[in-house]
Amino acid sequence: MSHAKLWLSVESPYFSEGFVAAAQSGGGAVSSLTFKQRIEQECIIESAIAPTLYKAAVSFVEDSGQWEPNYELGYTVSRFWETRRPHSFRELACFRQESGELWQAKAENPQVNRQKSAQRLSYALGRPVEKCEVSGLLRLYPEHTVLRKYETPLGAGSKPYLPPVTAGVWRQVAIRYGVECPAEVSLAALVGLGGEDTVVFGFWDWVAVNPAINILFTEGGKKVLAALSQGYAAIGFYGFRAYLAHDPILKTKVAPRLMPEVQRFIQPGRRAYIAFDQDEKAETRHDVEQGRAVFAGLLTAAGCDVRLVLWDGSLGKGIDDFIAAQGADAFAQLIDQAKPSARHERARQQAWAKQKREKERQAWLGQVAALVGLPEDTDRMAIAKAFRDRARLSGTVEVGHFPRLTLPADGDRRLIVLDGSKMTRKTSVGLRSVVGEGQQRGWCGVIFAPTRQLATNLAHELDVLTIDQYLALPPENRPAVAWVTACPESAHKLRSILANVVAFDEANECIPRLQSGELGNHPELARQAVKDLLSHANVVVLAQDGLYRSTVAAAQRWGNFDPTQVEVLRRQRPQTEMEIALYLDQAGDGESWDGTAWESTPKANRAFYTWFAGIENAVSKGQKVAIPSGSEGKARAIHRVLRGLHPDLKGQPIDGKYTPHRIRSEFAKNPTSFAPNRGLNWLSFSPAFNSGLSSEGTYFDQQFEYARAFEAASSISQRGERHRDAIRGEKIKRRNMYIASRGLATMPDPAVFTPDYWRSLLAGDPNTGAINLAQQMGCAEIASRLGQASADDWLELPEFLAIQAQETYFKVEFLRMEWETNGWAVNEMVCDPKAAETWSQPFYEATQNLIAQKGRTLARAKGKKQAGDEPAGAIEATKHHKWELQQKLGDYPGLNNPEWIEAWVIDSGTNGLFELRVRSLVCIAYEQPELWAEIARQHALNAIARAGQHDTADLPCTAREFAIAKLLKDAPGLYSVIKGRLTAWTNKDFIVAQAAAWAREKAVSLASASSTHQRIHGLQFTSKTPLVKCLHRLLQMVGLEGHYNGKVSTGDGNRAYQYRLVKLSDIEAKIAAKLADNCDRVHSLQRHRKRIETDSEVFNVLDQVLQQRVGDLTPAWDAIAAKVLEKYGLSRTSVRIGSLTEVLDAPKIQASIQDIIALIHVAQESGAEALHQLRQTIKPLYPGLWRAALAAA
């Protein structure tokens, strides 16, 4: 039965009289129908639209001679239309929105579709036909005329069709989906003037806020009204791609996204049906399928449950045809049978996982907000502002420059704080005035800059000497009024200068480095020298953009300044015009733009490659480009790619490691003229020049900035504004900023943003062994000094580290706040999804070429220890690096083999020489306890000698290697895996649970032995870390790698995941698979293979050299111990040198009640079987401890 009969007969009062008469008189009379009658037949009979809904949604506009249809469509009718007559539409059937606006119209006299007519003419004539030819050719070939089916309002753009509905339709939709109908709608249906035929408004707002209502998306107005007539909430588009947002500027560069009018209906969990037309033409069907796939992908990514409504096109092209021909029941069955495609179901699951992660992120953000006393629903920007307000100085800020400073009278002391943004003349006026007046008074002064190169540049700017220039003079020729610049590492060289003035340029960098102890060869001596300088100085000056409170507190404490002696000056430069184009690496989002990439989420860094495409485009146009980069390696790779693309152009990367000393010095002395003098088309500079110099002028046309994931916002800001036109905006009007996020944890422990977390890491005093040894030696003064040093030396360091964590994880928000203060516009850029296809291969090749070049250079180099705290240049740095390798490996032949160097030194990942040295130390601790004790003694003596300001000798291993090995020697199961006694393990093995419990207990100590970014993100061991992953992370710390080996039976009917160490065959299989897949990016895998092939050999060499080196260094350390005893010991004969080897730290073999309690908790997490295995293992060995631990647990 047709749906037309299902509705009502033509005698219905809803039809016009003329239409009823024509319909009753038979087919011949239908051709005599008026335009309105034809539309009624087309909608109500042929498209099965309810007459009441048709009456509510469709209206007519007739031309009375005043061109009403033209005005309705937005056309302009000239006053002189008689000479250029507009098209006469005669009458329009208008499909109107709920708002009353025209959405689409059908004309009684439609216009010619020039595009489709041109296509037909081209096919018929066998040649291309331009649009301008169409009118003339159609006069000759009228049979090829194609008329427009519908007209749309001029300039209105693409919008969805949201028609008005009647109270009856509203109630029908509410009943279908079990959603409560608004009371006013029900009331209108019962008592309104038209009953259920009453037109009511607000239907689409009601649908938007009720995700339980399924939405059917289709093409065309008649299909929407047909579906609504059946009680389905339907939204229509002009065509199968008309759901996309349109950007007339970026056009194809924009990744597909939904128009805002559709987005308001998209909520996670809402079911969305897509019912596009079933066309007969194969080409059209393919296009529709592509459009449907993209639409489904976008809806799925937003969390919708997407269903595709598909049917045999012979049953009706559109859903209105299907309903009219097959009836309402068949359509309802069609909807019920709609299922998601396998591809989009997987995408839906991915979207669900993404939403779950988003909820976790919001919960994490709430925890972070609580740290600063904000509500849980606080956004990132408000949290970042609270962090900033706590960390930085407060008070009045004046707009303008710093004035000349006046020094206090003799006998008075002052701490002057210059807290000002870039270009407020902190150095050129503030520090220069201090130097000038100090020289006039006959005072001496020391000015610190973060690095030696920047200290050299500062000396040039202030017309003073560097510390090296000063010390190179014969004592009799040294100036009586000495003013020198130095880096913090060189502070111990300043003992001959009694400074009246001590200044810190970039104080936020200098003072934290002094407190961290990560300075050159003599960190303790440098720190003590600075403390002495500050305590005796008349004037201390701190200069920085955004000074931290803790920086001022450290200087005030070390210098013994009371609050009345502190003078704070704060300045802000005037606002300028600048645009920030922000390219953010959305590494975890996994968007899919074309509807076909869901199976393998793209991993390419679209943001970076889109950003680089801007560099290449600018260089190609002949523009000069500045590239401040937070990564030396990335700066080198960018330079290589540009040089390959433009061999006839010039570029120069500047960094503190690989750039020749001569070039680096030339840049530091005069950065403004460096690029113009060399005729550079691009110039990149890396973190070595984050601060301390500035380039004036307008040589560069554009600036592109690269920020690493682990950089803090202040470092990014400092480096990006070295070229001053990037602030002024005279020539550079836009700064293009790429910010990486790969490798940075999404949700670290919120505690990392608090000083208490870092205080707990630092409180595990590394001097414990040295204090014990000093007490054994009878050196009470040294023991006391070591005990007090940690508290005094790093008191503010936890604050610094917490601020660094805040500025790292909230860097975008910190930068936005600064940019907004400057009055700059910030625009987040949309990235080209195809950019990675274009640029990833050139960057891969450039990276591999750089690795190969470094390998060749280091293999050919002759080892030589550097003379100072910093290498003089790239050649000296390479020689020193080779010397360090020779200290570890002796004359091992691999040191002269480029391939070996690449695998073990340049591209070693987490399986390099450092990890093998730690493994060697762990084995020594187990197998040679006396040798381990001697290594411990030498490290303790090193701390004692430095505390006593004695010269020291070399150490057999670094302090960090020793600290990690000292921890790992007690890790359960680790030594067994190293020695091959444990070759396979499962996730249910007891030894795995033991290792996890130990790692979780020692998590803070393990983190404190890691590098700073790993403390935040890396080798963490928490209750959420799986047991097996804990063991594998411990193995990673000694250069070993766990490998999944399949499932095995546990003997009790269950199965477990089995693991073993990775083998050579595993890597070879990966290489073969990539090559079989036509992927030649196997260089890292080949280096991994090289490491596995030579692991045993390299380990044995490292072990032998380490043991030999301990013995060789023992006499030197004996002599140092004797000197310490002679100066500080209570009795020169009370403690023999030989007895110092009793500082023995052998592996623990005795269990404690705390150990067993921890294991019980882990076993309880794993189930009854694990607890049973634990009881069977522990109880026979320690029955008393077992009972006590079980009671406590």
Per-residue confidence (pLDDT) for residue 493, from 0 to 100: 86
pLDDT digits (tens, 9 = 90+) for 886-906: 999 999 999 999 999 999 999
Among candidate residues 6, 2, 27, 24, the one with its CA nearest the CA of residue 15: 24
Task: Give yes or no for residue 785 having a pLDDT over 70.
Answer: no
**Helix H or strand E encompassing 569:** strand 566-572
pLDDT digits (tens, 9 = 90+) for 399-412: 999 999 999 998 89
User: Residues 845, 598: contact at Cβ < 8 Å?
Assistant: no
Per-residue confidence (pLDDT) for residue 26, from 0 to 100: 45
Per-residue confidence (pLDDT) for residue 16, from 0 to 100: 47
pLDDT digits (tens, 9 = 90+) for 582-597: 999 875 443 332 322 2
User: Higher-confidence residue: 674 or 1146?
Assistant: 674
Alpha-carbon distance 103 to 224, whole Å? Answer: 12
Per-residue confidence (pLDDT) for residue 1129, from 0 to 100: 64
Task: Give yes or no for residue 293 having a pLDDT over 60.
Answer: yes
Tokens of 93: 């059937």
Q: Which residue has the tokens 């919708």?
A: 304
Residue 1040: left (phi > 0), alpha (psi -120 to 50), or beta?
Answer: beta
Query: In this structure, how many other beta carbons lie within 10 angstroms of the beta carbon of residue 958?
Result: 15
pLDDT digits (tens, 9 = 90+) for 44-96: 988 889 999 999 999 998 988 888 888 888 888 877 666 667 888 899 999 99
Q: What long-range pairs does 1-9 form, CB within 8 A, spacing at least 24?
A: 1/327, 2/324, 2/325, 2/327, 3/48, 3/323, 3/324, 3/325, 3/326, 3/327, 3/328, 4/44, 4/45, 4/48, 4/324, 6/327, 6/328, 7/44, 7/48, 7/50, 7/51, 8/51
Per-residue confidence (pLDDT) for residue 154, from 0 to 100: 85
Per-residue confidence (pLDDT) for residue 849, from 0 to 100: 92
Length of the chain: 1193
Alpha-carbon distance 301 to 347, whole Å? Answer: 7
Per-residue confidence (pLDDT) for residue 242, from 0 to 100: 67
> From start to end of 506-565, where are the E strands?
539-544
Per-residue confidence (pLDDT) for residue 113, from 0 to 100: 85
Predicted confidence band at 253 (pLDDT cuts at 50, 70, 90)? very low
Per-residue confidence (pLDDT) for residue 921, from 0 to 100: 96
Q: What long-range pairs does 951-954 form, CB within 8 A, spacing at least 24?
A: 951/1120, 952/1120, 953/1113, 953/1116, 953/1117, 953/1120, 954/887, 954/1113, 954/1116
Predicted confidence band at 498 (pLDDT cuts at 50, 70, 90)? confident
pLDDT digits (tens, 9 = 90+) for 707-716: 998 889 999 9
pLDDT digits (tens, 9 = 90+) for 1032-1064: 999 999 999 999 999 998 877 788 999 999 999
Predicted confidence band at 876 (pLDDT cuts at 50, 70, 90)? confident
Predicted confidence band at 11 (pLDDT cuts at 50, 70, 90)? very low
Q: What is the mean pLDDT of the chain?
A: 83
Contacts of 860 (CB under 8 A, 6+ apart): 896
Judged on CB neighbours under 10 Å (0-12, 13-18, 19+), 863 is middle
Per-residue confidence (pLDDT) for residue 344, from 0 to 100: 63
Per-residue confidence (pLDDT) for residue 1079, from 0 to 100: 87
Among candidate residues 697, 748, 686, 645, the one with its CA nearest the CA of residue 1014: 748
Q: Are strands 445-448 and 702-707 parallel, antiparallel or unpaired?
A: unpaired
pLDDT digits (tens, 9 = 90+) for 142-165: 888 888 888 888 877 788 999 999
Q: Are strands 825-828 and 682-685 parallel, antiparallel or unpaired?
A: unpaired
Q: Which of 366-380, 654-668, 804-818, 924-938 has the lowest mean pLDDT?
A: 654-668
Backbone dihedral angles phi then psi of residue 739, each to the nearest 5 degrees: -120, 115
Per-residue confidence (pLDDT) for residue 777, from 0 to 100: 66
Per-residue confidence (pLDDT) for residue 126, from 0 to 100: 83
Alpha-carbon distance 23 to 33, whole Å? Answer: 9
User: Residues 978, 924: contact at Cβ < 8 Å?
Assistant: no
Alpha-carbon distance 1137 to 1118, whole Å? Answer: 7
Alpha-carbon distance 177 to 198, whole Å? Answer: 21
Per-residue confidence (pLDDT) for residue 1011, from 0 to 100: 62
Write out 69-114 in H/E/C secondary structure: HHHHCCCCCCCCCCCCCCCCCCEEEEEECCCCCEEEEEECCCCECH
Predicted confidence band at 790 (pLDDT cuts at 50, 70, 90)? low
Contacts of 487 (CB under 8 A, 6+ apart): 448, 449, 450, 451, 452, 454, 455, 869, 870
Task: Give yes or no for residue 1139 having a pLDDT over 70.
Answer: no
Q: Which of 259-273, 700-714, 945-959, 1079-1093 has the lowest mean pLDDT?
A: 945-959
Task: Give yes or no for residue 1012 having a pLDDT over 70.
Answer: no
Q: Which of 549-553, 570-574, 1128-1132 has the lowest mean pLDDT?
A: 1128-1132
Among candidate residues 659, 693, 762, 641, the one with its CA nearest the CA of residue 1008: 762
Alpha-carbon distance 345 to 348, whole Å? Answer: 5
Q: Which residue has the tokens 């030894």?
A: 991
**Distances, alpha carbon 697 to alpha carbons 665, 717, 727, in Å:** 20, 19, 12
Predicted confidence band at 600 (pLDDT cuts at 50, 70, 90)? very low
pLDDT digits (tens, 9 = 90+) for 814-872: 999 999 999 999 999 988 888 888 999 999 999 999 999 999 999 999 988 876 655 56
Predicted confidence band at 692 (pLDDT cuts at 50, 70, 90)? low
Among candidate residues 5, 726, 808, the one with its CA nearest the CA of residue 384: 808
Cα maximum dimension of the chain: 132
Task: Give yes or no for residue 330 having a pLDDT over 70.
Answer: yes
User: Residues 231, 214: contact at Cβ < 8 Å?
Assistant: no
pLDDT mean over 545-549: 93
DSSP state at residue 872 = S
Q: Which of 31-35, 1013-1017, 1138-1142 has the lowest mean pLDDT?
A: 1138-1142
Predicted confidence band at 4 (pLDDT cuts at 50, 70, 90)? very low
Per-residue confidence (pLDDT) for residue 304, from 0 to 100: 85
pTM attached to this predicted model: 0.70
Task: Give yes or no for residue 566 having a pLDDT over 80.
Answer: yes
pLDDT mean over 794-808: 91
Tokens of 366: 């709430």
User: Residues 676, 648: contact at Cβ < 8 Å?
Assistant: no
Task: Give yes or no for residue 18 having a pLDDT over 60.
Answer: no
Kindly state the percentage of the chain with pLDDT values over 70.
83
Per-residue confidence (pLDDT) for residue 1062, from 0 to 100: 94
Per-residue confidence (pLDDT) for residue 400, from 0 to 100: 93
